[in-house]
Chains A and B, each alone.
Chain A
Amino acid sequence: MSATALPLRLALVGNPNCGKTALFNQLTGSRQKVANYAGVTVERKEGRLHSASGRSYAVLDLPGAYSLNAASLDEAITRDLCRGFLPGEPAPDVLVCVVDATNLRLHLRFALEVRELGKPMILAVNMADVARRRGITIDLAALQRELGVPVVETVAVRRNGARALVERIDRLVAKPHVPRTHLAETADHGAGTAQALHEETRRLLSAAVGMPTRTARIDDALDRWLLHPVFGLMALAVVMFLIFQAVYAWATPMMDAIDAATAWLGASVGAALPQGPLNSLLVDGIIAGLGGVIVFLPQILILFAFILALEESGYLPRAAFLLDRMMASAGLSGRSFIPLLSSFACAIPGIMATRSIQDPRDRLATILVAPLMTCSARLPVYALLIGAFIPQRQVWGVFNQQGLVLFGLYFAGVVSALMVSWVMKKWRRDKSEHPLLLELPSYRIPHPRDLLIGLWERAWIFLRRVGGIILALTILLWFLLSFPGAPADATMPAIDYSFAGRIGHAMTAIFAPIGFNWQICIALIPGLAAREVAVSSLATVYALSAADDDAAAQALTPLISDGWSLATALSLLVWFIYAPMCISTLATIKRETNSWKKMSFATIYLFGLAYVASFVTYQVAVLLGAG
């Protein structure tokens, strides 16, 4: 095999928070591929690096690890890949071990573990600029001599900050590697080896590193306020409020624009083509389906811009620190908070945001309860029903009764989520202690390039992985709603004759005990695509022609307030607290857990909860005379 046929493989390894990903971005720019390792939901990032000497490298950014004694799936992937044991992944030719120059006590110990693998290796002492500013002196020559591997300084966030590293890699691969182990190999990986690694780390530090203080003054000052029991929580509330506002308010104009663009495109295409099934497939199936996918992008991008900035700056783990106790008592972890908060806007970005939760059990619990947060798509349904059935009047002089009901619906969602996660905690088989052991890294100013690359990755994952499933299901739904067509002498709306209409009529057998009539049942089917569509579907079923959701709701209000009992309306409101029928959310759960089983579990438990709660609401309301 010729040397040019396959690029040499570099792997970046290092502790979490060592600036590894920033260095990866610096080395590879936008030439990156993000996927998952085969069969697991651990992110695999690969990029290309072309050195000045003309060599080409495939660079792999391995998951951050504190030790090769893996304690998580991420760490197991890193361990197996470094050793060349991961199926389908060739062993890397050179390991670039990245250490944070300001955190050498922790990171050098891991570097020693990596050195023991006996592979060609370079130590990249990253964030050298920050270290210098803090007065930390590192004698690179002494470190290289004592460590026995090449050592270079890098500044991942500065242009050309990795040039020395690339030159050193070029020189290293040009000559053959002589494997050797440095510490005496002990048969067991017990306490003896662990202690030896720590002693070696201390020896290296005293030989090569001068550290005036153990911490940065800015970290001490910020933590004093941001982790304060009172001021810290207040600051967190402000941050949360900002995120919630941004996702909820800033995204709306963009989402409206996307909706309008979709409608315009649909109308143009519809007018250009002759009437028929092809026209309908294009307009109502594909264009509407694609629009339904893209419309989520503004919220996803805004939310992730915040989350990435918080994560990079070091604030996210601090928020987790403040909230851990509260969330842990409900069977979640401090890190669950931001994904759950985001789910108030939309469960899809919320579920995608659970990637910041490392512990798989906590992550799954968060994913499963995220759909219970009242997303913005439920608001049109709430608005319609509350407007039609709840009288507008003052309660205790200050509160509006309609507002109180709306608040009650949001509150019920939160309480249900806490109860569900608490019950899952009691029932799950794995009752072992899952540690917090959360590092609170130094505060940093996020680099725009790293934020942009991160955002681009999220958008891409959503469009490629989730978008495909949503689109396919939307087209299936279109088929059910459109075929067979209404006969020429039809007296009822066309939807009544379709498969969906027949299914809706059949569904009444199941839904009668919770007070749903056949019109509601039919409207629930297109509501699968997006909950707010249920409103316009109701309008279709009642044979109304309305331009949009708002107009539909206005025209519907008198019809349903005459036609439905209060018990039915309350039951439907409660149904939507749990509302399991959002295929986009289910598609995201499938994608993020990589498991049909977990997605089915989420569907069934949400459906069950919705049914039981609506049943109780309806029956109690009927007993009280609201039937």
Chain B
Amino acid sequence: MTLTELPHRTQAIVDSVLDLGENDKIARRLRELGFVDGEQVEVVAKGPLGAEPLLVQVGFTRFALRRSEAARVRLRPTGGGT
């Protein structure tokens, strides 16, 4: 599952960030901002048009990501209840 598919106000754990193409600067920046293995994330708001951009809580910070950016973030499969 990627961050774009995560339901509103549901917590999940980041698995990794996918590089789209070689030397993907956006993927690198996402990792620098804290989207790394084991980090908790949550979608806390969505933009008014087409649910874009997404407001994502990671660590203690909130970032607005467009869907194409959020699609790079792969989440750990959730086991049953969570």
Which of A's residues lie within 8 Å of B, judged by CB?
66-67, 69, 71, 102-106, 109, 191, 194-195, 198, 211, 214-215, 219-220, 223-224, 227, 229-230, 232-233, 317, 320-322, 324-326, 328, 433, 435-440
B60 with A325: CB separation less than 8 A: no
Contacts of B45 in A (CB 8 A): 223-224, 227, 321
Q: A211-B60, A322-B47 are in contact. Are A71 and B34 (CB under 8 A)?
A: no
Q: Which of B35-82 contact A (CB under 8 A)?
A: 36-37, 39-40, 44-50, 52-53, 55, 57, 59-66, 68-69
A194 with B31: CB separation less than 8 A: yes
Contacts of B40 in A (CB 8 A): 214
Within the assembled complex, what's the spacing in Å between the Cα atoms of A191 and B23?
11
Nearest chain B CB to A428 CB, angstrom units: 18
Contacts of B60 in A (CB 8 A): 102-106, 211, 214-215
Q: A317-B64, A433-B68 are in contact. Are A325 and B49 (CB under 8 A)?
A: yes
Nearest chain B CB to A106 CB, angstrom units: 5
Contacts of A324 in B (CB 8 A): 47, 52-53, 64, 66
Q: In the complex, which of the residues A67, A106, A320, A326 contacts B61, with contact meaning CB atoms closer than 8 Å?
A: A106
Contacts of B36 in A (CB 8 A): 194-195, 198
- Assess whether B6 is interfacial by the CB under 8 Å rule: no
A440 with B63: CB separation less than 8 A: yes
Nearest chain A CB to B23 CB, angstrom units: 11
Q: A435-B29, A435-B66 are in contact. Are A223 and B61 (CB under 8 A)?
A: no
Nearest chain A CB to B78 CB, angstrom units: 19
Within the assembled complex, what's the spacing in Å between the Cα atoms of A227 and B60?
18
Q: A103-B60, A232-B48 are in contact. Are A325 and B29 (CB under 8 A)?
A: no
Residue of B nearest to A103 (CB): B60
* B interface size (C-beta, 8 A): 34
Number of A-B contacts (CB under 8 A): 112
Q: A104-B60, A106-B59, A215-B60 are in contact. Are A436 and B32 (CB under 8 A)?
A: no
Within the assembled complex, what's the spacing in Å between the Cα atoms of A195 and B14?
13
Nearest chain B CB to A299 CB, angstrom units: 30
B29 with A439: CB separation less than 8 A: no
A103 with B61: CB separation less than 8 A: yes
Contacts of A438 in B (CB 8 A): 53, 63-64
- Assess whether B26 is interfacial by the CB under 8 Å rule: yes
- Assess whether B3 is interfacial by the CB under 8 Å rule: no
Nearest chain B CB to A130 CB, angstrom units: 12
Within the assembled complex, what's the spacing in Å between the Cα atoms of A233 and B31?
31
Contacts of B55 in A (CB 8 A): 223, 227, 321, 440
Q: In the complex, which of the residues A106, A214, A436 contacts B66, with contact meaning CB atoms closer than 8 Å?
A: A436
B34 with A437: CB separation less than 8 A: no
Contacts of A223 in B (CB 8 A): 44-45, 55, 62
Within the assembled complex, what's the spacing in Å between the Cα atoms of A233 and B46?
13
Nearest chain B CB to A434 CB, angstrom units: 9
B57 with A215: CB separation less than 8 A: yes
Contacts of B37 in A (CB 8 A): 195
Within the assembled complex, what's the spacing in Å between the Cα atoms of A326 and B66?
12
Within the assembled complex, what's the spacing in Å between the Cα atoms of A322 and B45?
10
Residue of B nearest to A438 (CB): B64
A69 with B66: CB separation less than 8 A: no
Nearest chain A CB to B53 CB, angstrom units: 5
A-B contact pairs, 16 of them (CB 8 A): A69-B28, A103-B61, A105-B34, A106-B34, A106-B60, A194-B36, A214-B60, A223-B45, A229-B47, A233-B48, A321-B64, A433-B26, A436-B66, A437-B26, A437-B30, A437-B64
Nearest chain B CB to A213 CB, angstrom units: 9
Residue of A nearest to B42 (CB): A214
Contacts of B39 in A (CB 8 A): 198
Residue of A nearest to B36 (CB): A198
A440 with B64: CB separation less than 8 A: yes
Within the assembled complex, what's the spacing in Å between the Cα atoms of A224 and B46?
11
Within the assembled complex, what's the spacing in Å between the Cα atoms of A440 and B59?
13
Nearest chain B CB to A54 CB, angstrom units: 39
Residue of A nearest to B48 (CB): A229
B29 with A214: CB separation less than 8 A: no
- Assess whether B33 is interfacial by the CB under 8 Å rule: yes
Q: In the complex, which of the residues A66, A109, A214 contacts B57, with contact meaning CB atoms closer than 8 Å?
A: A214
Contacts of B59 in A (CB 8 A): 103, 105-106, 214
Nearest chain B CB to A219 CB, angstrom units: 8
Contacts of B68 in A (CB 8 A): 433
Nearest chain A CB to B73 CB, angstrom units: 12
Considering residues B34, B37, B39, B62, which has the most beta carbons from chain A within 10 angstroms of its beta carbon? B62
Nearest chain A CB to B79 CB, angstrom units: 22
Considering residues B28, B40, B52, B64, which has the most beta carbons from chain A within 10 angstroms of its beta carbon? B64
Within the assembled complex, what's the spacing in Å between the Cα atoms of A219 and B50?
24
Within the assembled complex, what's the spacing in Å between the Cα atoms of A105 and B39?
10
Nearest chain B CB to A361 CB, angstrom units: 14
Contacts of B46 in A (CB 8 A): 229
Contacts of A219 in B (CB 8 A): 62
Within the assembled complex, what's the spacing in Å between the Cα atoms of A391 and B39?
67
B34 with A198: CB separation less than 8 A: yes
Within the assembled complex, what's the spacing in Å between the Cα atoms of A105 and B62?
12
Q: A109-B34, A194-B36 are in contact. Are A71 and B29 (CB under 8 A)?
A: yes
Contacts of B69 in A (CB 8 A): 435-437
Within the assembled complex, what's the spacing in Å between the Cα atoms of A423 and B48?
25
Nearest chain A CB to B58 CB, angstrom units: 8
Within the assembled complex, what's the spacing in Å between the Cα atoms of A440 and B46?
13
Nearest chain B CB to A102 CB, angstrom units: 7
| A-B contacts besides A66-B32, A215-B60, A437-B29, 7 pairs, CB < 8 Å | A67-B29, A109-B34, A223-B55, A227-B45, A233-B48, A320-B64, A321-B64
Residue of B nearest to A329 (CB): B49
Q: In the complex, which of the residues B48, B53, B62 contacts A436, with contact meaning CB atoms closer than 8 Å?
A: B53
Contacts of A435 in B (CB 8 A): 26, 29, 65-66, 69
Within the assembled complex, what's the spacing in Å between the Cα atoms of A436 and B57?
15
A437 with B65: CB separation less than 8 A: yes
B32 with A69: CB separation less than 8 A: yes
B32 with A325: CB separation less than 8 A: no
Nearest chain A CB to B54 CB, angstrom units: 10
Within the assembled complex, what's the spacing in Å between the Cα atoms of A248 and B63?
34
